[in-house]
Structure 1
Amino acid sequence: MRELTRTLEVRGPWSLATSRRFWEGFTPAALPGSGAPEDSLRATFRVDADWSAASALVTQVGTTAQVTVRGDGDLDAATGQVACFLALDVDATGWPAVGDRDPVIADAQAALPDFRPCGFYSPYEAAAWSVLSQRTRIVQAAALSRDLVARHGEDGAFPAPAVLAGLDLDLPGRKTEYLHAVARAALEGRLDGRALRAAAPEEAMRSVQDVTGIGPFAAELIVLRGANAPDALPARERRLEAEIAERYGRGAVLAEVSEAWRPFRTWGAVLLRALREERLHEIDPRPGRG
């Protein structure tokens, strides 16, 4: 197994402690208890350049992130993927100005200082999650995902697409069929994170809906949280709509209030949803989950 360490300059606000707090409460892909020091973040994931398994240890030194990746595959690609799922590759020097334009976002930024939205490790894993969570409570879907990792994964990484495509799984409804479709799409390059991130979000969302089992809601999740596109809006998030009404007043429309968030509309939406979950625990009643 090889190791590569890179130092990444992070432009704009960033706090590893906030990233860790946010991600530990992100039920679909919550960080496991890894034994990593409090001032670091550890993750194990599939590298979508070659589907090898990799582990990463991230620490913060001032405005830089030190990323150490270990694995047998493309470690340069693994480093880039870490930067993507931690949103460290986004120039966020303009993010504080969103709070200057919108006092609601300013309050939210103060509650989660130097926030950057952590996403799924890849669009592939986001797509698999969208299938597992269809018509299933999120905590139950998370248990299904953990079981897949334990039974068929590698060193804590989600099963590779080639493995997932061949599994005979006893899952409710058409989940097995849809997971196989997701795996085939990943192998065919249709869930490539760099390509989806480079495309216009609306175009990317249309393209992933060609995968069997992926509808409009799942497509938003894959592009906004899997590819971690920074400037798009979820149009089918009822909890976000409820939070907008609560913070901006009844009759407030997400598409209108979010104009002040450009070019960080995804960030604004995820920030408000994260704070709502911390406050209300609508997804997972255990404190700190979200």
Structure 2
Amino acid sequence: MDSEQPQAQVLDADLCSRARMSRDPRFDGEFFLAVKTTGIYCRPICPARAPAEKNVSYFRLATQAAAAGYRPCLRCRPESAPGSPAWEGTTTTVQRALQLIRQNALSEGSLGDLADRLGIGERYLRKLFQQELGVSPQAVALNQRLLFAKKLLAETGLPLTEVAYAAGFGSVRRFNSAVKDHFRLTPSNLRGRRKAQGSADIHLQLQYRPPYDWNGVVDFLSHHAIAGVEEIIDSRYLRNFRTTAGVAQLEIKPHKNKNALELRLQLPDNSRLMSTVGQVRRMFDLDANPEQISALLQQDPALGQLSKRSPGARSPGHWSLFESAVRAIVGQQVSTVAARTVLARLAKACTKEGIVTFPGAADIAALTDEHFPMPSRRRETLRSLCQTYSDREDELTLEALADFKGVGPWTVGMVAVRGAGDPDVFPTGDLGLERTWANLPGSEGKLNDAAARWRPWRSYAANLLWRSYTP
């Protein structure tokens, strides 16, 4: 087996060795170890007997271990490890490409299509992936599909044909072949004794690094919930959302006995299941490393106490970048309550199927002026955005948003935090942040100067300040 890693991703072997021997959960997802004698790769918290150091290789990404010929451990399930926040040295283009691949870009289109969306050539995209990650874009996509298929086999009763379809495989034959090559087992062997069922509901466990401030996340969602679209009931979050096949629904709540959230989905078809799960993970900020974040923020004399009062604080978001952009434009210079009222009116006016969902760009663009209770300049900004991205909401980027008339740094910053899940953004000029900072014990100097100390976790600092805001 090839144990060589690309130079940009070489890890400190001594540090990794100490980390895996300690089985410290704070290193879970930060790296993976592969055992040459068994051909298996694991998480550093794997409960199996620790292998001899001479037989171990270390990888930054699970994809790299898989590309080197290793298969995932069936005990620690490395596909369940929380993802690392961001990879040092990875270019913005590669990060964007990885995000699009997680959203099924290579299941629904070709590598050339992906390169076109990134504004580069296909050959250059391949070169970037080889330089930064040591694997091809197709290898990343295949590994993602396989690990998601394994999760569906382990946690759901979906028939094998539905698992193949949901995981992005074009045929059952290709699915069976890829599973056998990668796991050395058939799909039926991976499923074990769990029986296939035809239930309309899909139940999945979404793991995270503890602690997780569920109350803080629910508090944010309840303050921004759009009537008819979202609802909080007994600390459970429920939502209606659109898919190309029709209206879908989700419910999510904490798992009672595991470091995971329980997700229940009702989908008209499963073609977008993998990307939907990815959206939920980003929306609930499940890939954060709370130990790293709190270690920095608790050093601050003013922000430290807020961080200590909210262990496991997250930076929750909205359903999509497009939805976040609409919310931010509507919310310019108005209260959260007022923005929610306008958004609920827009959603109701665009409802066609009896179930209220967040409206699409084409539906908003088609509304007449009386449906926009806001200043004309803001209305035209919103309408322009929706006209431009009608039926292609997924193509909106932060860079494109910033070019619209009526969109300033605050709006882009809010969308970066809530729609893109950027961990290191501090919305400039936010009145709530300024007022909270002015009244916070221990605060000194200008807020923007203080925020520079909180990098690379400024989004989390902003969330802590927003939670403490009192109008």
Q: TM-score, normalised by structure 1?
A: 0.77
| Larger RCO, structures 1/2 (Cα 8 Å, 6+ apart) | 1
CA distance in 1, matches of 2:425, 2:324: 16
Aligned 8 A contact 1:14 1:116 in 2: yes
CA distance in 1, matches of 2:283, 2:240: 12
Tell me the residue number matched to 2:274: 76
CA distance in 2, matches of 1:220, 1:41: 25
Q: SS state of the match for residue 101, structure 1? A: coil
Tell me the residue number matched to 2:430: 237
Q: CA deviation at 1:224?
A: 1.6
- Does 2:323 align with 1:120? no
CA deviations over 1:70-122 (Å, ceiling 9, x no partner): 23362222211111111113333312212432243332124334221222222
Q: SS state of the match for residue 25, structure 1? A: helix
- Does 2:347 align with 1:161? no
Structural RMSD (CA): 3.1
Tell me the residue number matched to 2:287: 89
Q: Which of 179, 183, 188 pairs up with 2:386?
A: 183
Give the structure with higher Rg (CA): 2
Q: SS state of the match for residue 229, structure 1? A: coil
Which residue identity is paired with 1:36?
Answer: I
Aligned 8 A contact 2:249 2:266 in 1: yes
Tell me the residue number matched to 2:400: 207
Tell me the residue number matched to 1:287: none
Q: SS state of the match for residue 228, structure 1? A: coil
Tell me the residue number matched to 2:234: 37
Q: Unmatched 5+ residue regions in structure 1?
A: 197-203, 283-290
Aligned 8 A contact 1:240 1:273 in 2: yes
Aligned 8 A contact 1:6 1:68 in 2: yes
Q: SS state of the match for residue 233, structure 2? A: coil
- After superposition, the Cα gap between the structure-2 partners of 1:270 and 1:3, relative to the gap in structure 1 and judged at 3 Å, is same
- After superposition, the Cα gap between the structure-2 partners of 1:34 and 1:141, relative to the gap in structure 1 and judged at 3 Å, is closer
Q: Which of 205, 212, 218 pairs up with 1:20?
A: 218
Tell me the residue number matched to 1:56: 250
Mapping for residues 129-140 of structure 1, pairs under 5 Å? 129-140=327-338
Tell me the residue number matched to 2:92: none
CA deviations over 1:43-87 (Å, ceiling 9, x no partner): 23356xx59643221122231122222233622222111111111
CA distance in 2, matches of 1:82, 1:235: 27
Aligned 8 A contact 1:126 1:222 in 2: yes
- Does 2:421 align with 1:218? no
Aligned 8 A contact 1:18 1:113 in 2: no
- After superposition, the Cα gap between the structure-2 partners of 1:46 and 1:221, relative to the gap in structure 1 and judged at 3 Å, is farther
CA distance in 1, matches of 2:424, 2:316: 14
Q: SS state of the match for residue 55, structure 1? A: strand
Name the count of aligned residue pairs: 264
Aligned 8 A contact 1:233 1:266 in 2: yes
Q: SS state of the match for residue 94, structure 1? A: helix
Which residue identity is paired with 1:247?
Answer: L
Q: CA deviation at 1:240?
A: 1.1
Which residue identity is paired with 2:366?
Answer: G
CA distance in 1, matches of 2:408, 2:428: 13
CA distance in 2, matches of 1:158, 1:233: 26
Q: CA deviation at 1:226?
A: 1.9
CA distance in 2, matches of 1:135, 1:4: 40
CA deviations over 1:244-279 (Å, ceiling 9, x no partner): 233266752334323443321101112112211xxx
Q: TM-score, normalised by structure 2?
A: 0.50
Q: Unmatched 5+ residue regions in structure 2?
A: 1-198
CA distance in 2, matches of 1:3, 1:223: 32
CA deviations over 1:206-257 (Å, ceiling 9, x no partner): 4311234322221112112222211111122133123223326675233432
Tell me the residue number matched to 1:286: none
Which residue identity is paired with 1:94?
Answer: Q
Q: SS state of the match for residue 109, structure 1? A: helix
Which residue identity is paired with 1:115?
Answer: A
- After superposition, the Cα gap between the structure-2 partners of 1:161 and 1:258, relative to the gap in structure 1 and judged at 3 Å, is same
Q: SS state of the match for residue 43, structure 1? A: strand
